Amino acid sequence: MEVSTTEFKRCDLVKVVGRVDSQTAPQLAEAFASIINAGRFRIVLDASEVTFMSSAGLRVLIDVQKTCKRWNRGEVVLASPSEQMRQTLDLAGFLPLFKVYPTTVEAVGSF
């Protein structure tokens, strides 16, 4: 799995490529933690190239969403999630917890 972050004026973009499983979920959590520790709580997750998302990855997403939404500071939005990731979120019942945008540009522009 590869994780890259880009800081914009109003939000941060996190792009994930590959599988998010119990081995790689801590790497994703570290990427989110570095953004949150910098005092930035508006995050766009570009999940267009995620091929697999395990329960460990879902746990990271839910924890980050809870942290960002606490005290109305921000939120995590999803940009163009892959069909596999969309099905996983829907199956777990987590899809309603995230705003989903068809493109990264629209997701970044939502902030």
Amino acid identity, residue 41? F
pTM (2 decimals)? 0.92
Share of the chain above pLDDT 70, in %: 100
What is the pLDDT, as a whole number, of residue 71? 87
Paired with 6 in beta bridges are 13
Residue with tokens 């570009």: 46
Cα distance between residue 59 and residue 36, in whole Å? 16
What is the pLDDT, as a whole number, of residue 15? 96
Quick one: three-class SS letters along 9-35? CCCEEEEEEEEECCCCHHHHHHHHHHH
Phi first, then psi: what are they for 102, rounded to 5°?
A: -70, -25
pLDDT in tens, 13-67: 999 999 999 999 999 999 999 999 999 999 999 999 999 999 999 999 999 999 9
Domains of the chain and CATH, by start = 2-109 (3.30.750.24)
Of residues 91, 100, 105, 27, the one with CA closest to residue 60: 27
Write the CA distances from 7 to 10, 11, 45, 52, integer angstroms.
8, 7, 12, 25
